[in-house]
Amino acid sequence: MSAASERRRVVITGMGALTPIGYTHTDFWAAAKRGDCGIAPITAYDASKQAVRLAAEVRLDTEAFVPEREARKMDRFTLLAVIAAREAVSDSGITSDNTDTARAGVVIASGIGGLGTITREHTRGEERGYDRVSPFFIPMAIANMAAGRVAIESGFRGPCSCVVTACEGGTRAIGEGLRAIRHGYADVMLCGGAESCVTPLAIGGFTSMKAMHEGHDPARASIPFDRERSGFVLGEGAGMLMLEELGHAKARRARIYAELIGYGDSCDAYHITAPDPSADGAASAIENALRDAGLSPSDIGYINAHGTSTQLNDRCEAIAIRRVFGDAARVPVSSTKSMTGHLLGAAGSVEAIVCVNAAREGFLPPNINLRERGEECDLNIVTGAGRSADIKYALSDSFGFGGHNGAVIVARHDEP
């Protein structure tokens, strides 16, 4: 018997998504299948004096979900996490009646946390004196508060943590949840990421790094793997997945969307922001996920790429994919950041939801607006419209500043 077969199996029984192209996980998936673009001029503030004027915002009336009095005590990234988590919990059917909440946990990533709160309260301190900032400033700003708030609301009393590994965080949160269940620390884990930093400071910081697209045409802004790509578009949102031990899910007759079978990670140990041009770290994370899942590269039917639309990321990611998959490198690839922009710490979890649905429905969403593949980006990219494909395994990879790399693999659940 292999080591993999002795481990507790983990399935996905609930999902929640709040993205620039859909405010539930079903609406998000429908929009991704259509190839909708959520990029538009910034409305969160007046960006007319900045070079970057496009973003992918969540334009949702949050008061319909959280009363204004309570929402004022949360940074927006926490608010988005709470709304998406509510959907995932409801979608899963998990309650205190069918689950021991002491064995139910939460892992929610955020790359930046409450940046909007920090900048707002700093301005207030400068104007009124720092002893006059909001008493909620600290609990609103700290990055772990999304996980804390979600745990409080759901009543989950098991492991609760926040992963902060930049743009790889959402993927790592899922991996940590997988490991917690697989090794017996929990039966249920609500995992994902949340981000909301469409602010002048964040936009300015990324702009000064020359990391962002500065054009004004949404259709040519986030164009992963395109020869003309010139930087990412900042997005906001949240994605949550309810992970559950297979026996626990079957015992309560839960609907199972897919099985989570592999996770791998690594570190470039190379540079604070740039990926290693050799792509060794990125390739290693993918290889580790395949090994963890007990699969060979030829088993993978779809890759949801990190695909940020920056010159360095897309080139290095394409090198990593070709290196790992070799002759199997014709596996279909697309980056849904072409639609959602880059959700930073929420990206990996939102893109894992894409993989769940791709395996479940046999449909591959497109990499929209791609005209001509860039140098060294000669992958089998799903362009134009999405397409049907009979696949069983889908992989999502993510990479973040600091050299953090991660990948998860989901499998179609064919069992009754």
List active site positions.
167, 306, 342
| Residue 88 in tokens | 């995932």
- Shortest CA distance to 52 belongs to which of 42, 44, 38, 60? 42
Strand partners, 400: 404
Q: How far is CA 315 from the centre of its chain?
A: 20
Show the 3-state SS of the chain.
Answer: CCHHHHCCCEEEEEEEEEECCECCHHHHHHHHHHCCCCCEECCCCCCCCCCCCEEECCCCCHHHCCCHHHHCCCCHHHHHHHHHHHHHHHHHCCCCCCCCHHHEEEEEECCCCCHHHHHHHHHHHHHHCHHHCCCCHHHHHCCCHHHHHHHHHHCCCCCEECCCCHHHHHHHHHHHHHHHHHCCCCCEEEEEEEECCCCHHHHHHHHHCCCECCCCCHHHCCCCCECCCCCECEECEEEEEEEEEHHHHHHCCCCCCEEEEEEEEEECCCCCCCCCCCCHHHHHHHHHHHHHHCCCHHHEEEEECCCCCCHHHHHHHHHHHHHHHHHHCCCCEECCHHHHCECHHHHHHHHHHHHHHHHHHCEECCCCCCCCECCCCCCCECCCCCEECCCCEEEEEEEECCCEEEEEEEEECCCC
- Shortest CA distance to 338 belongs to which of 226, 240, 238? 226
The residue assigned the tokens 């609907």 is 255
